Amino acid sequence: MHYDATCYIDGEWIVPAAPGLRDLIDPTTEEPFAKLASGGGIPEVEAAVAAARRAFASFSHTTPAARMALIDAIIAAYEARADDFAQLIAAEVGIPTSFKAQVAGPLGHMRVARDLLGTYAFESQLADTIIRREAIGVCALISPWNWPIQTSVIKVIYGIAAGCTMVLKPSDASPISGIFLAEVMHAAGVPAGVFNLVVGPGRVVGDALSRHPEVDMVSFTGSTGAGIKVGEAAAQTVKRVCLELGGKSANIVLTDADLERAARWNIQRCFTNSGQSCHAPSRLLVHRDQMEALLPFLVDEVSRFRLGDPRDPATTLGPVVNAAQFASIQTHIASGIAEGARLVCGGLGRPEGMNRGLFVRPTVFADVTPDMTIAREEIFGPVLAVIPYDTEEQALQIANDSIFGLGAYVFSQDRKRGYDFASRMRAGRVSFNGANTNSHTPMGGYKQSGIGRSMGVFGLEEYLEVKSVYGFEPEAAALPQA
């Protein structure tokens, strides 16, 4: 693959002004699989934002029905490219084609957003006042590499549902995913300027979008460190930010829980996607007297993963995204060993028999204390820290003693006990006994895991401003929705 035109602006493909090509490295082979123009810069950001601003004047006044029809067209165009997306992300970031949620998930999110437009009240009455919810404006959408399609789709589709226009900046580690998505938008007939794409480094493109005075809102998903920079830049022009950032989610296994079920579920939820998930339950808290009974289930479930080429349908665990991520995970594993945690399985280096590819040995540590590095820092790899507790109050204190608050998990045979515990956990999402999340409910974090929410009604409202229009009695307020 060779891409010279890496920016999609005002309905046309643009070759960036900056010269040069770069190789994209397949993490399975550690060899180039594509060449890409060096990416956009300030000129492309300016052109994209200007195109979005022009398009906003008309697109923001389209009807919900018209936007529903547009989303239907996007869904159809996306479905036609689903296999292409699956093969691309296997090469681009090492995600196995067997992990169907990466490609199928976005369709569910698009359908939820479309259906929401059929019921959402963009106008309501409060005494003699009409409360209007209106599109916020031009949105900068900055997406990550670990869910390279789904995260971008959620941002784009809710922006469109709200009547906003946008500039998408995909991760520099997964730029072709953004290009493919732009091709979908073009094929679906999204009006020129409504959706724009600028591929380029975050320190240039992301920073320029965050600071731009004509951008009204920034939606960013990524690390907490990068999110802080986005927030600081956006504050210069007092724009709204929606940030989904890092996590160090705790799974608390209460003493009455099914230990085998909790252990096996934790490994699958933590290590799928090579552990590269911000909601991964990377801290497992179990009563000290039950730890030894739990560990064999963890080890057995780890052994069930099949590592290999992500294009092989039998592979369930691929490589991590790039050499920098591989090195970071190795450093964290080494710190666990050095700080005295007990290595139960896995460890340093590649898995046995693999002499190339950025594959990490799925690793479980036991006897982890809350002050250890592997208990406090987001590793973003297939590494689990098992932490013993003596009382439930201590378990709750350990779980909440984190700068993060994105996800949390509780296992118990007693629903009331589990709910009471979940209600005291400081996290934006809490799952009881491994219950699945869904596309209708809000996703977001407490503390340094972010600001705002995505998905469903709460996600739509991130892209809307609230206006009060006074002096209209209820009988005079039967005005069309906008």
Residues of the chain with pLDDT under 70: 475-482
pLDDT in tens, 87-129: 999 999 999 999 999 999 999 999 999 999 999 999 999 999 9
Q: What are phi and psi of 192, to 5 degrees?
A: -55, 135
Question: Helices marked H in 18-170 — which ranges?
Answer: 42-59, 64-79, 82-92, 101-117, 150-162
Alpha carbon of residue 118 to chain centroid: 26
Provide CB contacts within 8 A for 213, sequence distance 6+.
237
Residue 50, both tokens: 């200007």
Q: CB of 113 within 8 A of CB of 75?
A: no
Q: Where are the beta strands (DSSP E) in 354-415?
A: 363-366, 383-389, 404-405, 407-411
Q: What pLDDT, on the 0 to 100 scale, is given for residue 120?
A: 98
Q: Give 3-state DSSP helix, strand, coil % of the chain, rounded to 5.
A: 40, 20, 40
Please name which of 451, 299, 283 lies closest in space to residue 370, comparing C-alpha atoms.
283
Nearest to 477 by CA among 115, 118, 122: 122
Tell me which H or E stretch contains 227: helix 224-235
For residue 40, what pLDDT is reported? Answer: 87
- The segment(s) of the chain belonging to CATH 3.40.605.10 are 2-245+449-476
CATH 3.40.309.10 positions along the chain are 250-432
- Cβ atoms of residues 278 and 223 within 8 Å: no
Q: How far apart are CA 256 and CA 239, in angstroms?
A: 48
Which amino acids are annotated catalytic? 244, 278
pLDDT tens column, 35-60: 998 788 999 999 999 999 999 999 99
Is the domain defined by 2-245+449-476 classed in CATH 3.40.50.720? no
**Residue 79 in contact with residue 110, Cβ under 8 Å?**
no
* CA gap 119, 414 in Å, rounded: 36
Instruction: Judge whether 82 and 103 are in contact, CB under 8 Å.
Output: yes
The predicted pLDDT at position 477 comes to 46
- List strand residue ranges (DSSP E) for 260-331, in order: 283-287
pLDDT tens digits for range 314-367: 999 999 999 999 999 999 999 999 999 999 999 999 999 999 999 999 999 999
The class level of CATH for 250-432 reads alpha beta
Sequence length of the chain is 482
